[in-house]
Structure 1
């Protein structure tokens, strides 16, 4: 159970609630103990009356009535405290589930992009949902039934020893056999549960990717092949679940067998000792039978609890695997570091740690607040990498990246990212209203601010054309909108934030030239005192920038203004002439 040791901090956090649950459990168990005692007393009195030891019938009736009332009262109070016990332990398990899911999610948010490139979304989702649910069963039902079982055994077996020591030894004799069997089965369950969870992650990943890429699947007509692949995974998952179920199915028959043996021993040994006069009261045998059967459910629960604990252990191990991953990007200072926007690259070389590809090679440039820098170049030349490094999505390798004269690593990470408005190349929108998607950049933005940002992004007219306007709810990943509309909503989201640094990663590629020109003119006014970096394949997006750099294979091969670069031979002039010709055609 070493992996489950991670949860000890939650037990400490909710220790008073758990302590209350233990006290309530003890009280409920004590009241349960009254029932067999009174049944035994009643049978003893009836036996004594029938034997003639007691002759007063009215006294016997009165005693039986009192016992019945005590039985009813004890049963009702036991039921009440059992209800309170469940409320205490199950509620705590829900609190722990809530805390653990939040902890896992927050940790996911801290992990670097490299982590998400190496791990699949379906597996991440399965660990925060299915695995955490398995762990909750350990914190809630497993813990509750374990405490109930231990308490019941201590109270009941102690009383049984007090009443008839020899008979008690015979009654509990099968339990060591049960313990050994449980241990053996638990090892198998732990191993097979891990495999089942791994298959579940594969199924979740496959279905998530299939639904996200359903348009591609339909376009290529590969529904049958996709279905076959799913059936293969489902078949494997079914077989592994059946293997697990076979082992789990051994528990309850084994429990009932051993409880049955205990009953036989109580009847035979108890009856023999009563006949021999070694047990004074006949009611003791009946009482012991009730106690043994009262222990049936707790003993049977041992198997169920063991199964839950082993499944939780396997799931917590999977959760711990990710929780133990240290974020590659660490916030090295808690002090506030206001950002002005003076960006400087000095002989910077960067290689992606996950692929080993060198994206930038000895790159140097600077851009000051109020200036606009445009970056052009072929696909794979390193343009987007520059923006990722400025946002500190990756840490720099060789060389230096400074902002406001300080190494980017020495800046408060939250302040750094709060100062930026980033529009990625692949615009991502959430399954929410258009208004809320724009407000993602500024949570408390007014409706007027949302509209103004949309106007500056040249998407206001499109939004107004929808039946519900800004309240239109988008499909997953913004599938309701066209490519150009998604890009413009993303631009509006960055603009409304009013950041000190604006980063645009080829975010006008799906926009027509007239709309592009309108957006660029609006950006010129908006970015008057801001640092703006525009990555683009289009010269039209770069020509008005204060500085332009041309990248090729991670190196700067040209830099200057539009006029200067057009005036000399090279990549920029050739690209400009080619795009000008395309526009004329």
Structure 2
């Protein structure tokens, strides 16, 4: 139960629902367990009055006796019916409190997990598969809900019912009670042994279910690649293997669960036999009445549900414990990137300084930057150029604090960004990532994601500046066109331009473009650059690219290679050095001329 202790805070939050549910359970059981008492009185009444009836059979009092006796039986019958109705009504109230409480806890737990996911840094998501994350917030939470709802409700009912029934049985005949309950120790040992096996198998099943979810999610996301390489059959085989492992583990658990039912039935059967045999002997000896024996048999039958539910509840608790353990693993994670205790709020002007920055990606061990130095004054436009893997994108990741450098500092306006509030830092920097991501929503809402309070006119203006407005207006629904998952219904260039519009609508002092024009044609590229040149006049901008924008006048261009700055200067200064930049420019010019000739 140590893993499930993390849920105690929710029981405290919904303590009134829990207490009311427990009260309704107790009242329902009270009305239920007093029914055998009425049955006992009926049997004793019958035993006593059958002899009287025979004595009066041929007398004038026979009719009156029969009428009075029938009225008494009718009263007892209606009383039992009334107790059953009251028991059922309070059982309804019990479910309305405890089961509804479990839904509230499920809601809170899912939100807690989702918020935790959003707090965790990029390194966490690179180390964990999306399918596994999805499984923990869906399947695992559902199993935990079964513990805080049905399992808790039936466990409460079982405990209260067993205590009340055993107490009532004890008041009637202690010796017969002991004989009736003698199989219970054997039952407890069986439950303990089987539960240990169930817990281990439940952990394995949940891990395999996460694997199935991950395999399916990766297949759906990479369906284009699968179809392009005609790998449908190998993909199906991979999924089938994962499903087979899950199936075998589930069957194994089902076989273990199956031990409960025969074990419970055996224990109950033994109790009934002992009750009838020992009780019959006691009736013959005159120690108890026939009504007591009938009462005991009914109590044993009433204990059938608690005995059976012990195994079912224990199984649910074990599964929930395994699931909550997996949930706790993520809830206990602490993000490596978070606000300092004395983090500041400040308005950024745009002076950026990388001071002796060295950074190695923790999940791969690849060193992206080595003792890097760079100063950008407010309002400057800086281009970062280099080969793939030279560390260009790492600059952007460090600037918005997706990662922190192992050595050196990244400062804005003279303040280390680790001393700024994360939300304030990221709110004042617009970042267009290399890997464009669009949500399955309208184009308008995808652009407005950068500034949720933006007006429709501002959305159109941002799209115009990103040279995508004309494309959007050609769609039947215009800006209300719903794009598919990850923007699959748009072309690569359109997705990039919508992503640029999303960044422009925020209108910050600092903007970072990470190779965001790789999928647009030369004409559209020139149009976007022209719009950006006017838009960025008073802003600090870092443009990361593998191409040279000759039409854009940069205040400074830096060339990276293996995490170090190997060239820096203006366009003309770098051409004069006849280095990597000059070589890249010459290749690009040759390629453009060949494209025009074709």
* TM-score bracket relative to the smaller structure: over 0.9
d(CA) in 1 for partners of 2:593, 2:502: 33
Q: 1-side partners of 2:363 and 2:19: how far apart? A: 48
SS of residue matched to 1:422: strand
Contact 1:36 1:287 in 2 (8 A): yes
- Distance (whole Å) between structure 1 residues aligned to residue 259 and residue 531 of structure 2: 72
In structure 2, the residue matched to 1:256 is: 265
Q: CA deviation at 1:369?
A: 2.6
Q: What are the superposed Cα offsets for residues 24-59 of structure 1, whole Å, 9 maximum, x if unpaired?
A: 111111111122111221122122211328973333
Give RMSD over aligned pairs. 1.4
Where does 1:32-71 land on structure 2 (aligned, <5 Å)? Answer: 32-52=32-52, 56-71=65-80
The reply to whether residue 17 of structure 1 matches residue 17 of structure 2 is: yes
Give the match for residue 117 of structure 2.
Answer: 108
The CA deviation at 1:340 is: 2.3
Aligned 8 A contact 1:200 1:237 in 2: yes
Alignment of 1:252-291 (within 5 A): 252-279=261-288, 281-291=289-299
Q: Deviations over 1:226-247 (max 9, x none)?
A: 1111111111111111111110
Alpha-carbon distance in structure 2 between the residues aligned to 1:252 and 1:357 = 56
Q: Does the residue aligned with 1:567 lie in a helix, a strand or coil? A: helix
Q: Mean alpha-carbon deviation: is it higher for 432-441 or for 338-347? A: 338-347
Q: Deviations over 1:489-517 (max 9, x none)?
A: 00011111122221110000001122112
The structure-2 alpha-carbon separation of the partners of 1:113 and 1:402, relative to structure 1 and needing over 3 Å to count, comes to: same
- Aligned partner of 2:533 in structure 1 is 524
Q: What pairs with 1:308-327 in structure 2 (closer than 5 Å)?
A: 308-327=316-335
- 1:334, distance to aligned residue in structure 2 (A): 5.0
Alignment coverage as a number of residue pairs: 584
| Aligned equivalents of 1:346, 1:198: Cα separation in 2 | 44
- Secondary structure, in 3 states, of the residue corresponding to 2:565? strand
In 2, the alpha carbon distance for the partners of 1:580 and 1:184 equals 76
- Contact 1:435–1:471 (CA<8 Å) still a contact in 2? yes
Q: In the alignment, is residue 328 of structure 1 matched against residue 336 of structure 2?
A: yes
How far residue 541 of structure 1 moved from its aligned partner, in angstroms, is 6.8
Whole-Å separation in 2 of the counterparts to 1:37 and 1:499: 79
1:355 aligns with 2:364: yes
* Alpha-carbon distance, 1:338 to partner: 2.6
Deviation at 1:335, TM superposition (A): 4.3
Q: Which residue of 1 aligns with 2:59?
A: none
- Structure 1: runs of 5 or more not aligned: none
1:46/1:60 contact within 8 Å kept = no
CA contact (8 A) 2:526 2:551 kept: no
* In 1, Cα distance between equivalents of 2:204 and 2:559: 51
- Give distance in 1, aligned partners of 2:185 and 2:534: 82
Match of 1:221 among 230, 239, 253: 230
Q: CA deviation at 1:354?
A: 1.4
> 1 CA distance for matches of 2:485 and 2:220?
10
Instruction: Using structure 1 for the length normalisation, give the TM-score.
Output: 0.98
Larger displacement relative to structure 2 (183-192 or 194-203): 194-203
* 2:159 corresponds to which of 123, 128, 150: 150
SS at match of 1:487: helix
**1: CA distance between counterparts of 2:525 and 2:50?**
104
Structure 1: how far apart are the matches of 2:109 and 2:509? 36
Structure 2 partner of 1:367: 376
Aligned equivalent of 1:73: 82
Q: CA deviation at 1:15?
A: 1.3
Query: 2:583 corresponds to which residue?
Result: 574
What is the CA distance between 1:543 and its match in structure 2?
4.2
Confirm whether residue 429 of structure 1 aligns to residue 451 of structure 2: no
How far apart, CA to CA, are the structure 2 residues paired with 1:261 and 1:368? 87
- 2:133 equivalent among 113, 117, 124: 124
Cα distance between partner residues in 2 of 1:255 and 1:497: 66
Q: Is the 8 A contact 1:542 1:548 kept in 2?
A: no
Give the whole-Å Cα distance in 2 for the aligned partners of 1:222 and 1:352: 32
Taking structure 2 as the reference length, what is the TM-score of the superposition?
Answer: 0.96
- List, as ranges, runs of 4+ consecutive aligned residues in structure 1 with deviation greater than 4 Å: none
